[in-house]
Structure formats: C-alpha cells, structure tokens
Structure 1
Amino acid sequence: MPKAFELNPRALELWNPSLAPIEKEGEHSITLTGIVGDEWPYDENARPLTVARVDAALRSIGDNPVTVYINSPGGSMFEGIAIYNRLSQHKAGVTIKVLGLAGSAASVIAMAGQRREIGKTAFLFVHNSWTIAVGNRHEMHQCAAALTEFDQAMCDLYMDTSGQTQEQVTEWMDGETYMSGRTAVESGLMTHLLEDDEITTSVSGKSDLPAARKIEAALIRAGLPRSERRKLIADFKASLAPMTPPTPEALAPALSADAFSEASAEIENIMSFLQDQK
C-alpha cells in the first residue's frame, strides 16, 4: 500500500500562491490556499489546508451559504476527498471559486459546489494518483492495485459532476490534463466563469517562494522523502536570511572603548564586503 500521496510536481511548479480573493461584504467564506493536507513549507505563517480547518469554519458559519475560494496545487488525495465530503454535507449551499489553480486533490474539492466558478485565466489540473513507494515486486503490485481503485474513485466523481463518459474522464486523467477556465466550464466540471474583479494579488514579501517551490518539485521528482525535503527547504530559506554581524562584545568582551570602536568599524566593513559578494 502507498504510505503517502505526493504532490504532483507539475502542479507545484506552475502554482501562483500570491492570488487572493476580493471578498464581498457580508459574505461567509473559506479561503483554501496552500497544499492539501500538509503544512506549507515556504511560509511559516500559512495554515495547513485540512478537513479539520474546513469543519471548524463551517461550524462557525452555521446555516448560511458559504463561498469557498481555492488556489492550490493539490496534495493528499484522502484529505481532499474528506474536505469534499464535508463541504457536500453543508446544507445551506456551497459556491466554489477557483482563483488560480485547483490541481490534483484541490480539483476534487472544487467539485463540492452546486455553483462552481473559475477564473478565465485559472486552471483545473486532473491526473491519476501520484505516490512514492518502496518495496519488493509484491508490494509494488499491491500499490498499483490500490492506485487503480483510487483513480476510479476520482474518475467517478468527475463523471458524476460533469456528465462526461468514463472514457473521456480517463483520457483527461491519463493525460495529466490542464483545463483553462473556459474549457473547464465547457467540460461540465465547472459551471460558470469567475469575474476578473474578484481576484487580486497579495504581497507576501517573500521573494524566495518561487525558488523554494521549484526546489521541492525537483526533490519530489528525485524521490526524496518528505521529511528530507522539508529539511533541505528550511536550510535553503536559512541561507537567504540577512546576515547578522556578531557584536564586538561577543567577540572580545574586555576591549577598551577605543578598541571597541575600531572593532565595530572593522566588523561593519567585513559585513559590507560579504553582502556585496552575494
């Protein structure tokens, strides 16, 4: 059996996490941005995208219609299905709005709305289950059999939502298909195009995010376990942190006042030189 479901690296590379909704006054909404069922390793301020978080939000919203904004490359299939089922249980009505990307497990979540809107320049990304597995040939056969069942479950959901045939949906999934907003509506997976004035771009100030995403995508392709990827990304982020010069007190606590000033000037010169070399 697969131990974990991995994020598809193609979706991760193309995802733009800076897109954000322009929420309407009085609207009850949930914004799902990030990786499904996982922490977001690029931003320590981001919250995991989990069914527990969605459940808590729906309990707070109560018997009111809810709008769910999605911009996610996907993640755990099981968590995505759990979120889909939890949203489907909300009796007051669910509207889905895809801002940038609903990929992989996030495309499953996007099927939960009675009304499903997508930006004209946004995308759905559908594909077969993706995992990393280790073991002998018997375990590999078991893994393949399990993935076949998981793929059929997703295929059934896309078929029921869109009204398309199994042959058509299987072709989409086998081909790892990106659908533009217009194509997604024409396919039946989405119902309406989203107005452009409902999307904005947030400014996080984190210029290292695109590089970190590309690094993780490459590490996924290389088959590196998730724990090791997280460590390498943390090391990468640390390497980009501004250099903090040591204080003269830490280097030589017994310095005289004149020596202290000289040491301070020397340290500043050294740090300026190092910054210029970066």
Structure 2
Amino acid sequence: MDDTDVVRYLIPYVIESTGRGERMYDIYSLLLKERIVFLGTPINDQVANVIVAQLLFLNREDPDKPINLYINSPGGEIYPGLAIYDTMQMIEAPVSTIAVGWTASLGTLLLTAGSKGRRYALPHATIHMHPAGGGARGYAPDVEIQYKELKRMQDLLHDLLALHTGQPREKIADDFERDRFFNAEQAVEYGLIDEVLQPNPKKLDELKRAGEKVLVGDGTHA
C-alpha cells in the first residue's frame, strides 16, 4: 500500500440528509461545498492540479464570496506550488489563508499570498522558511543550467515574499539564507500573516473553571 492508498483509506465519508434523500460525500467534497479548500500534503503536480481546479470552480460559483484555504503542508515542488500561487492571484474571489499545524517553504508562500487582511494562523501553528533546494547531476554544462534555474527560482521566491510581507528584499534574502521558524505571533510581526485566530472563548472559560492552565500561543498562561 503506497502513501496515496493510505490517504484514501483514511479519508472519512459523511452522509448528508436532504429533502431528496441521503447522499454520501468524502469530507473534502463536503468542505468544498462550504468554500473550504484543504492543502494538507506535500505539493506536487497532482496536488496542485486539484487545488487549482477547486479554486477555479469556487471562483466561477461566486467570484465575490471568499474562499478559505487551510494549509498544513511542508511545501514541495516549486513549479506546481507557483501554479497554485498564480491561480490565487488571478481569480476574483478573495482567498483567506489559514495555517494549521505547520507550513513550510511553498506552503508558507501560499499562506502569505492570501488576500491582505485575510491571512491567519492558529495559535500554535509553526511557519517555516528555508532556502530553495535541489540536486543537479550530469555533464558540467547541464549542471550549470540547473544551478541557474534554481537560483532564478530562489530569487523569485524572495521577490514574492518581499511583495506580500512588505519586508525589503535584501532582508528576506538574508533571513532565509538558513532555516527560520516563526510562531504565530512572530509571523504577524514579520508580515507573513495578519492575525492569530484565538481559541473559542467558551472553551477557555470552561477550562479555567475546571482549574486547568491554558497555554496560549505566546507562551504565557491565560
């Protein structure tokens, strides 16, 4: 059983009752009906094609209504990731991005590329950036061509991050010369996101009444 089969096996199905009877949906199709798109895997051609198709469909359904893109992804292949990025910028519908768990590399770029004022993270999400990577092999001229393309892609990622964060490009290049991790509050300060989504107040109150200590995103106790 490969990774794809495992993922399919784990996807739950939901039965929805309507006036016309019952209908079974996989959970992601049901979320799509609510204009929720979930990116929860490494990015490759197949994943990008599905995400792009969902964005185009929802934009066609209602170009004025926001789309919610939840991201829990370590990034992945550059070209497919840029296909998602370009589609987000092309469609008319606002795209809200929400970091859950972990975003890295291209996953972080997509998070930051959400509509201004609509870029969020859950309190304990981690946002990670690192230099573009890739291997090169073959004859020396081919290795040089591949290196130049990798450099072009890294420069492009720096340009896009500078555009969406408001940080100087030189600072972006210096900061992401090595791995860098942000908690949710730090991501706001850097301009990667606009706001940290807070826990449900009712649940926090219930925990407090039960005498539990609740650790919030900045490391303090509520």
- Global fold match (TM > 0.5): yes
User: In structure 1, how many angstroms separate the alpha carbons of the residues matched to 2:185 and 2:70?
Assistant: 18
* Aligned 1:64-75 pairs, distance under 5 A: 64-75=65-76
User: What code does the residue aligned with 2:136 have?
Assistant: A
User: In structure 2, how many angstroms separate the alpha carbons of the residues matched to 1:61 and 1:151?
Assistant: 34
Q: CA deviation at 1:51?
A: 2.4
SS in 1 for 2:74: strand
Q: CA deviation at 1:62?
A: 4.2
User: In structure 2, how many angstroms separate the alpha carbons of the residues matched to 1:61 and 1:75?
Assistant: 30
- Kindly indicate whether the alpha-carbon contact (under 8 Å) linking 1:51 and 1:79 is maintained by their aligned counterparts in 2: no
* Aligned 1:128-277 pairs, distance under 5 A: 128-197=131-200
- Kindly indicate whether the alpha-carbon contact (under 8 Å) linking 1:127 and 1:174 is maintained by their aligned counterparts in 2: yes
Paired residues, number: 170
- Kindly indicate whether the alpha-carbon contact (under 8 Å) linking 1:34 and 1:49 is maintained by their aligned counterparts in 2: no
User: What code does the residue aligned with 1:77 have?
Assistant: I
| Superposition misfits of 4+ residues, deviation over 6 angstroms | none
TM-score, normalization by structure 1: 0.54
Q: CA deviation at 1:72?
A: 0.6
The residue aligned with 2:39 is 32
- Kindly indicate whether the alpha-carbon contact (under 8 Å) linking 1:39 and 1:48 is maintained by their aligned counterparts in 2: yes
The residue aligned with 2:52 is 51
- Kindly indicate whether the alpha-carbon contact (under 8 Å) linking 1:85 and 1:112 is maintained by their aligned counterparts in 2: no
- Kindly indicate whether the alpha-carbon contact (under 8 Å) linking 1:120 and 1:194 is maintained by their aligned counterparts in 2: yes
User: In structure 2, how many angstroms separate the alpha carbons of the residues matched to 1:126 and 1:180?
Assistant: 12
What are the Cα deviations for residues 181-236 of structure 1, in whole angstroms up to 9, with x where unaligned? Answer: 11111101111112234xxxxxxxxxxxxxxxxxxxxxxxxxxxxxxxxxxxxxxx
- Kindly indicate whether the alpha-carbon contact (under 8 Å) linking 1:38 and 1:75 is maintained by their aligned counterparts in 2: no
User: In structure 2, how many angstroms separate the alpha carbons of the residues matched to 1:49 and 1:98?
Assistant: 19
User: In structure 1, how many angstroms separate the alpha carbons of the residues matched to 2:52 and 2:97?
Assistant: 16
User: In structure 1, how many angstroms separate the alpha carbons of the residues matched to 2:188 and 2:90?
Assistant: 24
User: In structure 1, how many angstroms separate the alpha carbons of the residues matched to 2:91 and 2:46?
Assistant: 25
Q: CA deviation at 1:122?
A: 0.8
The residue aligned with 1:102 is 103
User: In structure 1, how many angstroms separate the alpha carbons of the residues matched to 2:43 and 2:80?
Assistant: 7
Distance change (3 Å), C-alpha of 1:61 and 1:99: farther
Q: CA deviation at 1:96?
A: 0.9
State the structure with more CA Rg: 1
Q: What RMSD, in angstroms, separates the aligned Cα atoms of the two structures?
A: 2.8
Structure 2 gap ranges (5+): 1-26, 201-222
1:123 to 123, 126, 131: 126
User: In structure 2, how many angstroms separate the alpha carbons of the residues matched to 1:92 and 1:128?
Assistant: 31
User: What code does the residue aligned with 2:113 have?
Assistant: A
What are the Cα deviations for residues 101-158 of structure 1, in whole angstroms up to 9, with x where unaligned? Answer: 1211111211221221012211222122222322122222221111111111110111
Distance change (3 Å), C-alpha of 1:52 and 1:93: closer
User: What code does the residue aligned with 1:130 have?
Assistant: G
Among the aligned pairs, what percent are the same residue? Answer: 25
TM-score, normalization by structure 2: 0.67
User: What code does the residue aligned with 2:43 have?
Assistant: V
SS in 1 for 2:176: helix
User: In structure 2, how many angstroms separate the alpha carbons of the residues matched to 1:93 and 1:50?
Assistant: 15
User: What code does the residue aligned with 1:79 have?
Assistant: P
- Kindly indicate whether the alpha-carbon contact (under 8 Å) linking 1:133 and 1:140 is maintained by their aligned counterparts in 2: yes
